């Protein structure tokens, strides 16, 4: 390890760049669903050692100098590997998209790596040379991760903090400090080996103290999670019996060839199926849930289909379904220049739409094209078919259909934004409808589902997640999976959700305050430490 530390510190140019790319790729093994946490402990110290040997540049040049290149290279390796599953969507499209796939994945990784490059450059400006330097880099990296999740529409997939959520016990700390807090903690702990090597005049025991402290912190996290799981009592709801349908409807890829009657009949047949001889079917079900993208057409423009749905629904059953919604003006005609919404609709037994939610956080290039005039010169459209992309809704809000507890509605990747899913105060549960069919055969669906689970832990609300191709699951307020369907399994899942966690969570009350306190103190401490004489420790 001493040899590795010295090699990294003395490297420069393309050799250093390749070392950092490889280290970032190794760190990506720590994200869901792999959770190889030791990979993070091996990789992040290389970033620290590289900054130890990096040349200093004064003023604004430091923002694009060697320290920026170090963080950028690490991020390029990390994001290329962690987000490689996005390439599965290009395989679904075929044609020109196959040629674009490697450029798109590496291009996205490069864009996201800019955040890490800037964090690395700012950290190097405050570099102390002492032990506090890992606090400096962890603080600036955590701030960069917050920026990645919020700026330019945000893309918070695979935050470093997810490496600390490998099991139910480790999940629980998110109820206190949130996922961004876990990101700061994970980065800081994983950098501690950088304080052990290279060897110097200190004794081996003294050099190993940082790793002992990191292991103790991880043990404390698991102990807290175990205590919380064993001391929290949950109650099942008495007013809800839910059936979620996972139909594997792949017609969403081409609106021009979809057969509305066939799709609706398939959904009805699945919804009325019996999971056991004693199962009465839909009678007794209060909430029937269909996922996103099962309708490659505007449902409200197909009255015969709505009539079929109405006849299927018992008097006490409410249908909650992902569906495109066509906006109509006061004259009953489509609103010009509004392509429609990717929505959740609530339909009652009369076939009436009694509540709706329009997705407000759209996926760039997936559901709309930034600078679409430019991209369409090359024949490139958004991935998700529709009339002309989708319009954004009016923001996160509760859905409160008649006769149903209020809930937070999230469409697809809206569930991956920590602390930004709406006000949980009056919600009784979270509903997430999604379509991960674009990423079948990759780690994407499992990763997406795990990210969504953290929102249940952070808010103390149970989550119902209906996915077209998987993973459909029910999660309790502690983030534990109560029941699920396997990926690409056609079937239904009957569950009774839990009541919300009594009193909510600490994260509900204070949000990202612990995170900001930690990183601001880290930056202020770095300012003080950088003025002291440099000393590796």
Q: So which residues are the catalytic ones?
A: 292, 359, 412
CB contact at 8 A, 217 and 187 = no
> What's the rounded Cα separation, in Å, for the pair 321 and 473?
16
CB-based contacts of 226, cutoff 8 Å, min separation 6: 169
Nearest to 147 by CA among 129, 159, 136: 159
Q: Which residues pair with residue 492 across a beta bridge?
A: 245
At 53, is the secondary structure helix, strand, or coil?
helix
Any idea how long the chain is? 537
**Distance of CA 503 to CAs 171, 240, 460, Å?**
18, 21, 9
At 380, is the secondary structure helix, strand, or coil?
coil
The H or E element containing residue 309 is helix 303-312
> What's the rounded Cα separation, in Å, for the pair 407 and 507?
18
At 60, is the secondary structure helix, strand, or coil?
helix
**484 CA to centre of own chain:** 19
At 287, is the secondary structure helix, strand, or coil?
strand
> What's the rounded Cα separation, in Å, for the pair 323 and 291?
8
Both tokens of 508, joined, read: 């509900």
- Give the other-Cβ count within 10 Å of 315's Cβ: 8
Q: Is the dihedral of CA 329, 332, 333, 334 positive or negative?
A: positive
At 280, is the secondary structure helix, strand, or coil?
coil
Q: Is the dihedral of CA 258, 263, 265, 269 positive or negative?
A: positive
The H or E element containing residue 522 is helix 513-529
> What's the rounded Cα separation, in Å, for the pair 144 and 110?
14
φ and ψ at residue 410, rounded to 5 degrees: -130, 130
Place of tokens 């809704």: 393
Rg (CA), the chain: 25
> How is 318-370 classified by DSSP, letter by letter?
EEEEEEEE--B-TTSSBPTT---EEEEEEE-TTS-EEEEEE--SPPBTTTB-T
């Amino acid at each position: 390890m001493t040899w590795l530390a010295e090699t990294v510190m003395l490297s420069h140019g393309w050799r250093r760049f390749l070392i950092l790319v490889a280290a970032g790729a190794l760190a990506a093994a720590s994200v869901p669903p792999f959770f190889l946490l030791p990979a993070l402990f091996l990789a992040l110290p290389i970033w620290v050692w590289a900054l130890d040997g990096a040349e200093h540049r004064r003023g604004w040049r430091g923002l694009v100098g060697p320290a920026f290149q170090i963080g950028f290279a690490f991020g390029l390796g990390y994001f290329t590997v962690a987000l490689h599953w996005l390439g599965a969507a290009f395989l679904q499209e075929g044609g020109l998209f196959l040629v674009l796939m490697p450029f798109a994945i590496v291009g996205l990784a490069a864009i996201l790596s800019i955040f890490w490059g800037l964090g690395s450059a700012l950290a190097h400006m405050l570099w102390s040379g002492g032990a506090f330097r890992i606090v400096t880099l962890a603080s600036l990296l955590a701030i960069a991760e917050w920026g990645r999740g919020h700026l330019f529409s945000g893309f918070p997939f695979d935050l470093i903090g997810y490496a600390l959520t490998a099991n139910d016990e480790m999940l629980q700390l998110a109820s206190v400090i949130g996922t961004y807090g876990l990101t700061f903690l994970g980065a800081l702990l994983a950098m501690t080996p950088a304080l052990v090597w290279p060897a110097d005049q200190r004794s081996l025991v003294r050099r190993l103290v940082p790793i002992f402290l990191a292991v103790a912190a991880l043990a404390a996290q698991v102990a807290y999670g175990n205590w919380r799981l064993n001391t929290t009592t949950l109650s099942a709801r008495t007013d809800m019996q839910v059936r979620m349908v996972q139909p594997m409807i792949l017609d969403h890829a081409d609106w021009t060839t979809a057969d509305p009657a066939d799709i609706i009949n398939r959904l009805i047949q699945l919804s009325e199926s019996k999971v056991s001889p004693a199962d009465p079917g839909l009678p007794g079900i209060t909430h029937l849930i269909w996922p996103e993208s099962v309708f490659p057409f505007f449902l409200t423009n197909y009255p015969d289909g709505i009539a079929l749905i109405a006849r299927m629904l018992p008097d006490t059953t409410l249908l909650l379904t992902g569906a495109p919604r066509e906006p109509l003006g006061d004259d009953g005609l489509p609103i010009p220049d509004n392509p429609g919404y990717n929505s959740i609709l609530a339909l009652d037994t009369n076939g009436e739409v009694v509540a709706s939610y329009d997705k407000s956080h759209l996926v760039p290039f997936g559901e709309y094209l930034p600078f679409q005039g430019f991209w369409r010169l090359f024949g490139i459209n958004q991935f998700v078919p529709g009339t002309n992309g989708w319009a954004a809704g009016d923001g996160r809000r509760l859905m409160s259909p008649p006769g149903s507890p209020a809930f937070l509605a999230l469409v697809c990747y809206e569930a991956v934004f920590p602390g930004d899913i709406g006000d949980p105060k009056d919600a009784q549960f979270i509903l997430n409808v999604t379509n991960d069919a674009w990423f079948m055969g990759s780690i994407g669906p499992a990763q997406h589902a795990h990210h969504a689970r953290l929102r249940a832990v952070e808010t103390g609300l149970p989550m119902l997640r209906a996915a077209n191709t998987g993973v459909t699951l029910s999660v309790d307020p502690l983030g534990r999976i109560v029941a699920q369907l396997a990926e690409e399994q056609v079937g239904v899942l009957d569950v009774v959700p839990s009541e919300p966690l009594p009193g909510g969570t600490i994260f509900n009350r204070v949000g990202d305050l612990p995170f900001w306190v930690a990183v601001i103190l880290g930056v202020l401490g770095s300012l003080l430490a950088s003025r002291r004489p440099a000393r590796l420790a």
